[in-house]
Amino acid sequence: MAKITFITSDNETIVAEGTTGNVMELAVKNKVKGIDGDCGGVCSCATCHVHVNEAFWGAVGAPSELESDMLEFDDNVSDYSRLACQLQVNEVPDGLILKVAK
Amino acid sequence: MKKSTLSDPFKEARESKGFGEMDDQNDPVVMVLGHKDVRKCAHNWKTFQSGGDEVGRIVVPSEVHIRNTRQIPFEVDPPEHKSYRDLVEPWFKRPLEANYQAKLTQIINNVVDEALNKGTLEVVEEFALKLQSRALTLLLNIPFEESDLWISWGTHVFRSEDTALDGDKANILYDYIDAQIDKAIENPGNDLYSVLLASEINGKKLTKEEVKGVLILTFAGGRDTVINAVTNAIAYFADHPKSLQRLRDEPEILNTAIEELIRYFSPLTQMGRVVTENTHVCEHAIKAQSRISMCWASANRDERVFENANDVVLDRKVNPHVAFGFGTHNCLGATHARQIMKILLTTLAEKVGTMEIIKCKENIEDLDEFKRKVGFDSIHVTFNKL
Ligand code: HEM
Ligand code: FES
**Residue B118 belongs to domain with CATH number:** 1.10.630.10
Give the C-alpha separation, B296 to B322, whole Å. 6
Alpha-carbon dihedral of residues B282, B283, B284, B289, nearest 10 degrees? 80
B266 and B380 in contact (C-beta within 8 Å)?
A: no
Q: Does the Cβ of A39 fall within 6 Å of ligand 2?
A: yes
* B87 HSE (CA, 13 A, CB side): 23
Give me the helices (H) in A1-102, please: 23-29, 57-60, 65-72
Q: Which of B136, B331, B338, B343 to mutate to test the pocket of ligand 1 (most atoms within 8 A of CB)?
A: B331
pLDDT single digits (tens) B341-379: 999 999 999 999 999 999 999 999 999 999 999 999 999
The answer as to whether B206 is a domain residue is no
Q: Please name the residues between 25 and 84 in chain A that touch chain B, using a CB distance below 8 Å.
A: 38-45, 64, 66-67, 69-70, 73
Is the CB of residue A89 less than 8 Å from the CB of residue A2? yes
Query: Looking at residue B155, what is its pLDDT?
Result: 79
State the nearest Cα–Cα gap between B53 and chain A, in angstroms.
27
| Extended strands (E) in B214-369 | 271-275, 279-281, 284-286, 291-294, 352-367
Arithmetic mean of pLDDT, B104-108: 98
Distance CA(A76)–CA(A61), nearest Å, equals 19
Per the prediction, chain B carries an average pLDDT of 95
Q: Is residue B112 part of a domain?
A: yes
Is B14 in contact with B297 (CB distance < 8 Å)?
Answer: no
Q: Which residues of B touch A22 (CB under 8 A)?
A: none
pLDDT band, very low/low/confident/very high, at B162 (cuts 50, 70, 90): very low
Q: A-B interface: how many C-beta pairs under 8 angstroms?
A: 47
Classify residue B207 by its DSSP letter: P
Domain-located, residue B157: no
Domain assignment of residue B168, yes or no:
no
Domain of B311 in residue numbering reads as 11-152+220-385
A85 lines ligand 2 (CB under 6 A): yes
Instruction: Using DSSP, state whether A49 is helix, strand or coil.
Output: strand
For B274-290, give the DSSP string: EE-S-EEETTEEE-TT-
In the predicted model, is pLDDT for residue B21 greater than 60? yes
Residue B291: DSSP 8-state:
E
Q: What is the pLDDT of residue B160?
A: 45
Q: B169 in a domain, yes or no?
A: no
Q: Which residue of A has its CA nearest to B263?
A: A44
The set of long-range contacts for B185-192, using a CB threshold of 8 Å and a minimum separation of 24, is: B190/B141, B191/B140, B191/B141, B191/B142, B192/B91, B192/B139, B192/B140, B192/B141, B192/B142, B192/B218
- Would the pLDDT of B228 be above 50? yes
Chain A touched by B335 (CB under 8 Å): yes
Query: Tell me: the pLDDT tens digits for B109-150?
Result: 999 999 999 999 999 999 999 999 999 999 999 999 999 999
Atom number in ligand 2 closest to CA A83 = 4
Contact call for A41 and B319, based on CB within 8 A: no
DSSP, res B19: E
Nearest CA in chain A to B41: A73
Residue B246's pLDDT is: 98
Residue B32 lies in a domain: yes
Position B163 scores a pLDDT of: 52
Domain count, chain B: 1
By Cβ distance, the residue of B43, B256, B338 closest to A73 is B43
Whole-number Å distance between alpha carbons of A27 and B20: 42
Is the residue at B241 inside a domain? Answer: yes
User: Do B259 and A40 lie within an 8 Å CB cutoff?
Assistant: yes
β-pair type (A2-7, A97-100): parallel
Is residue B238 assigned to a domain? Answer: yes
Cβ distance A86 to B259 less than 8 Å, yes or no, reads no
| CA of residue B219 to ligand 1 center, whole Å | 11
All residue ranges of chain A with pLDDT < 50 are none
Domains of chain A: 2-100 (3.10.20.30)
pLDDT digits (tens, 9 = 90+) for B266-277: 999 999 999 999
- On whether the CB atoms of residues B365 and B375 are closer than 8 A, the answer is no
CA nearest neighbour of B100 among B335, B348, B345, B350? B335
